[in-house]
Amino acid sequence: MVLHFLIRGRVQGVGFRWFVHREAAELGLRGWVRNTDGGEVEVVAAGNHESLTELRAELHKGSRGSRVDKVIEHELDEVEASSLGEFKIEGAW
Write out pLDDT tens, residues 13-35.
999 999 999 999 999 999 999 99
Q: What would you report as the CA-atom Rg of the chain, rounded to the nearest whole angstrom?
A: 12
Q: Residue ranges per domain, the chain?
A: 24-40+57-82
The per-residue pLDDT for 61 is: 96
- Residue 83 to residue 93: CA distance in whole angstroms: 22
Average pLDDT in the chain: 95
Q: Which active-site residues does the annotation give?
A: 17, 35
Residue 18: what are its φ and ψ, rounded to 5°?
A: -65, -40
Inform me whether the pLDDT recorded for 77 exceeds 70: yes
